[in-house]
Amino acid sequence: MPRTVRDVVFVDGVRTPFGKAGPKGIYNETRADDLVVKAIRELLRRNPDLDPKKIDEVAIAATTQIGDQGLTLGRTAGILAGLPQSVPGYSIDRMCAGALTAVTAVAGGVAFGAYDVALAGGVEHMGRHPMGEGVDPNPRFVSEKLVDESALFMGMTAENLHDRYPTITKLRADEYAVRSQEKAAKAYADGKIQQDLVPISVRNTNAEVGETGWGLVTTDEPMRPGTTLENLSGLKTPFRTHGRVTAGNAAGLNDGATAAIIASEDFARENNLPVKMRLVSYSFAGVEPEVMGYGPIPATEKALAQAGLTIDDIGLFEINEAFAVQVLAFLEHYGIADDDARVNQYGGAIAFGHPLASSGVRLMTQLARQFEEQPHVRYGLTTMCVGFGMGATVIWENPNFNAEGDSK
């Protein structure tokens, strides 16, 4: 019997505040799976009309799937969060695009009719599990010149991308980074970010005075409000002597988790759930691993073609800021100004942080908020580069769209 494709919607999304990885970070004493559990519980609290027994799947991504990020996170986090044992789950790894891929994976199941509603998200505790921990890259990659050796180091791939785009100078990257910090600070001041943050209780040890205590994390730790060009100009370029990539114009090493509810539009409306975004198309693309940051460009071209749209139809962009140069390459390719008002209106990963596999849903929650505020915008996209030479793009439609600019 032929099946009809169903409309898929983004119902809701939340995230933990993002922390700095390492012994001084806010989540040093917090397990990765507990961060996911908190996000899932918050989703259920915010959406009391969603019967947990009706959840068909839990897909949770992590890049380094060992320790407290291993053991089939979608299943184990679901049980820990109190979901019925009848709810299945699984884990995903597409590096930085893990949570984004979790969303598209369950979205495919919803469109096909295998699921009515699913949870999707991601976590990365880079303090406990640095990217690459425990991996053993096949020596053939380098010995047979399948990839350039720099492909194994994300910072080096960003320097390579600067080489491809000589007009993207360190100054332009630093200017972009300052704007990201400014926009993030303004978004916080305007109350745009806090609405989707899950407060997290943390246990920390103050080594200097030998004290242990509990605290409540309610804001992103990596943010550096007040950052200036002067601050950034003197930073070291660790990936290349006299290079252009610094800690100031790139996302840091971070900890955090995200989660979202994805459903068919019919299910959402029948169960009194919000419809914040409607899925239009999504696409993944591979590029040369040594210029990983180029990936969003072909991924976006594919997604636009699938949707029958052009870049001019996109009214809002949420582009992951793994490195400033990666965003700037995307903008330059499409002839979009560095400071275009449609791009990352609340700031991005340079300010908030980038806990690898969790970041895709952060982009979506921020786009959903912007859709609510801007009913005159019909289409927006979330896009990111992915380690080892990939890009990922999802195009969304604003369910509040009204050409006159008034909410329905």
Catalytic residue, chosen from 125, 129, 162, 354, is 354
Q: How far apart are CA 27 and CA 305, in angstroms?
A: 41
Cross-strand partners of 214? 203
Rounded distance between C-alpha atoms, residue 2 and residue 7, angstroms: 16
The single residue of 96, 125, 129, 162 carrying the catalytic annotation is 96
Cα separation, 110 vs 186, whole angstroms: 36
Q: Is 376 a catalytic residue?
A: no
Exposure letters 326-353 (e unless 16+ CB within 10 A, then b): bbbbbbbbbebebeeebbbbbbbbbbbb
Measured distance CA(119)–CA(106) in Å, rounded: 8
Query: 96 catalytic, yes or no?
Result: yes
d(CA 31, CA 72) in angstroms, rounded, equals 15
Sign of CA dihedral 1, 54, 65, 147: positive
Q: In sequence order, what are the residues at sequence separation of 6 or more whose Cβ sits closer than 8 angstroms to the Cβ of residue 299?
A: 283, 284, 285, 383, 390, 391, 392, 393
Is 162 labeled as catalytic in the residue annotation? no
Paired residues of 59 in beta bridges: 90, 120
Distances (CA, A) of 159 to 187, 226, 286, 387: 30, 26, 19, 14
Residue with tokens 């903008």: 331
Would you name the residues annotated as active-site residues? 96, 354, 385
